[in-house]
Structure 1
């Protein structure tokens, strides 16, 4: 029996997210990103569709690789202006019961000590429905505005992130014992100090001697998401990630990426399927195939190809304004998202080379991932093919317009998948981690973070020392 298909919704606290220019469409509501009602309404919609969660991206800089300036990004609203994603979660959690929240935050520019408290707070307030998408950063503009000449080299960013995660695991897993908070009214003791421990971290990048400021939350460590598919990114994911987001314009390329990730998970001592792998996809659908293709043609009339090249230049680390639109993407070195460059250096599904014009057209709606167009039945057929040919677990759904794209998927596609027993009809109980993997609320013992867990045996051994 085939695995059930899983959906995440992909959004960002800005206009249009990855579909540059689509904010002009009369049905698009992304311009309401500053309105909390937009986010609570979206969360309730996604929960009605039994989406695993909403994955909210973020950047700390502007896209200024294209033409050597951020003017085009500002002009097209290409992820600028952009607001903080974390502040949305409490409100969305309050109006839902099951929906998960994958929040993007980088390791490069915030100390892990305050970040640990922020995520523990969200895990408490969501009753264990929060995840963290770990990003190391890729925009040079972010580095400059944080006082650096440029970002770290690609692999060095992951070395830094390794220690960042170690500090967090020590705080989340090892600082407080499970029964530290006793709330004893008679004795007047709220927390037993003997069960709260300094982490005494001294490393290359961070010195954190003290305790975690928050008592243990439902999951302790939020679900770890990761979105890097370069060799170093896969190595990082193999030890840490519980859900992995990838993007490939072709099934063949995605199959290779998924296989590499599953091999790496196994090499790290974990089960090949211990991380859910979601691939980026945009679905354009309607009652009939004809209506869906007409809808896509209408969407294209609003999309901005220059805005798409602004994004692609930032993701690839290449100024695409210097290339002729019919020039193929050759062998280039990138200090940005290396897997993006590698994807476009592979042949297209029809065997042709990717050209700059192809990249602009692909990225105009939905960004890096492919899009599929058709009726609910046709979309369901295509999704089954992607799953069967690539071994992915599901799809991270970008939108053309919001919430319309998600509404269309819920109305036309999900009922067909459910008829085929390929999509859940209800949520599993418990935390986000348990909903995703069915193994409880806490990190499994083979996860890299579990070795920092403090147990009664650990405490006794330290006392003997």
Structure 2
């Protein structure tokens, strides 16, 4: 006798940003592309409706708080390319999308490094109320040198130190979201004239190295209290941080083995924090070019490659060395030496390859592990391989063309994935929070094993949590 196992279902998000050029450099001028409408509220409500009707679970909104001004020693290239500038605040477009939909979830990016936690806690609780519990937060610590200068610093705070600061930032937020108000504090008792029971609201009196916050929280408990916690990382410090805090990790790997190593490291970090290995789900950035025929899909991909901007890619990489000015036949190592500049924080480069090989490879497009071009059948086969062999839980779909990418996926790929049991059928259920959509019914709040739960009911507000990282030495 054999037992059947239900196929693993895909978490399906669109990867977006409120700007002209996000991560598909040079493609915004393509015919019928709507990228230039990013500052039009109708762009976001139309997109949200397409995503909900098309079977997407959510939209994942990236953000930066600085300009890309390392490449060629200034922001001119990035500005000319529209590279993530101009760029709107992603938190402010969510209510409009929520009003236009019933089920779609929203993951918004916000940095822990530069703005105080008390004000952010209020904004996120507000969004959780207004969306009826469909909000998530992508936790970042910010990496652009210009971002640091925008907030009064001379330069970037070192990478690992930013995670130390972020750990305390989260501790403050948990005290506000989970510990400051009890369920049932809001009564709205008309006869007694009591709006809120004062005995169920408390100060948090947080006093740490980075923040002093008295409380109480200004917003009553929202459907999820703490928003769904996303994190994008692959570093050692980021991995430890994800083990304590994250529910969904946006990570990757150029090969199956690399992805497995990243996933395993984060699961082990979660276990060290008293959580289960399956308490964290993993999503990857995925490129999907689909057509009704192989020829149609190949034509789309050829068009995208032909219009890809090398300058946009290099500016986005914050590469201090302009490889386009170097001889194509020398190695990247030689080019760096000739420039007299330090590489700094940039993506890993194949230093032993020639400049020409590297530049040609960048223009060839992102043909990495989580990339596929083909018919709906070919695409669905590959996505099943990502789910079953790589062990991913979901994708952030890269948008090459707005709204063509999502329309193609919704029309051609979603029906095929549903036929294979890889996507949930559409439902009309109201009141389902984002956390329940991702983790199952009845799980609107963080589980008891999560570190945030220690503050529920006002517990442990005066007990310091054990630091995640050893104190930095000066």
TM-score, shorter chain, exceeding 0.5: yes
Whole-Å Cα distance in 2 between the matches of residues 305 and 421 of structure 1?
40
Q: Is the 8 A contact 1:130 1:432 kept in 2?
A: yes
Give the secondary structure class of the aligned counterpart of 1:179. Answer: coil
Aligned equivalent of 2:255, options 250, 255, 264: 250
TM-score normalized by the length of structure 2: 0.88
Q: Is the 8 A contact 1:138 1:335 kept in 2?
A: no
Q: Give 2:191's aligned residue.
A: 186
Q: Give 1:400's aligned residue.
A: 400
Whole-Å Cα distance in 2 between the matches of residues 436 and 354 of structure 1?
44
Pair 327,48 (structure 1): closer, same or farther in 2 beyond 3 Å = farther
Q: Give 2:223's aligned residue.
A: 218
Q: Give 2:157's aligned residue.
A: 152
Is residue 2:11 matched to residue 1:9? no
Aligned equivalent of 1:441, options 441, 444, 463: 444
Q: Give 2:434's aligned residue.
A: 432
Q: Give 1:56's aligned residue.
A: 61
Q: Is the 8 A contact 1:67 1:322 kept in 2?
A: no
Q: Give 1:411's aligned residue.
A: 411
Q: Is the 8 A contact 1:102 1:132 kept in 2?
A: yes
Q: Give 2:372's aligned residue.
A: 372
Q: Give 2:456's aligned residue.
A: 453
Higher mean C-alpha displacement, 266-275 vs 281-290: 266-275
Give the secondary structure class of the aligned counterpart of 2:85. Answer: coil
Q: Give 2:174's aligned residue.
A: 169
Q: Is the 8 A contact 1:323 1:356 kept in 2?
A: no
Give the secondary structure class of the aligned counterpart of 1:78. Answer: coil
Q: Give 2:88's aligned residue.
A: 83
Pair 329,132 (structure 1): closer, same or farther in 2 beyond 3 Å = farther
Give the secondary structure class of the aligned counterpart of 1:23. Answer: coil
Give the secondary structure class of the aligned counterpart of 1:165. Answer: helix
Q: Is the 8 A contact 1:20 1:365 kept in 2?
A: no
Deviation of 1:27 after TM superposition, in Å, equals 2.0
Give the secondary structure class of the aligned counterpart of 2:28. Answer: helix
Q: Give 2:116's aligned residue.
A: 111
Higher mean C-alpha displacement, 319-328 vs 232-241: 319-328
Deviation of 1:299 after TM superposition, in Å, equals 1.7
Whole-Å Cα distance in 2 between the matches of residues 142 and 181 of structure 1?
39
Q: Give 2:233's aligned residue.
A: 228
Whole-Å Cα distance in 2 between the matches of residues 17 and 266 of structure 1?
35
Whole-Å Cα distance in 1 between the matches of residues 317 and 326 of structure 2?
13
Pair 167,452 (structure 1): closer, same or farther in 2 beyond 3 Å = same
Is residue 2:208 matched to residue 1:206? no
Q: Give 1:27's aligned residue.
A: 32
Whole-Å Cα distance in 2 between the matches of residues 382 and 206 of structure 1?
47
- Gap runs ≥5 in structure 2: 337-341, 462-474
Higher mean C-alpha displacement, 55-64 vs 263-272: 263-272
Q: Is the 8 A contact 2:329 2:355 kept in 1?
A: no
Deviation of 1:379 after TM superposition, in Å, equals 0.8
Is residue 2:146 matched to residue 1:135? no
Whole-Å Cα distance in 2 between the matches of residues 256 and 354 of structure 1?
31
Whole-Å Cα distance in 2 between the matches of residues 253 and 273 of structure 1?
19
Q: Give 1:262's aligned residue.
A: 267
Q: Report how many aligned residue pairs link the two structures.
A: 448
Q: After superposition, where does 1:297-446 map in structure 2 within 5 Å?
A: 297-313=302-318, 336=345, 340-341=347-348, 356-357=358-359, 360-361=362-363, 370-427=370-427, 430-438=432-440, 439-446=442-449
Q: Give 1:124's aligned residue.
A: 129
Aligned-CA RMSD value: 2.8
Q: Is the 8 A contact 1:4 1:424 kept in 2?
A: yes
Give the secondary structure class of the aligned counterpart of 2:276. Answer: coil
Deviations 1:149-194 (A, max 9, x none): 1111000000000010000000000001111111122221111112
Give the secondary structure class of the aligned counterpart of 1:386. Answer: helix
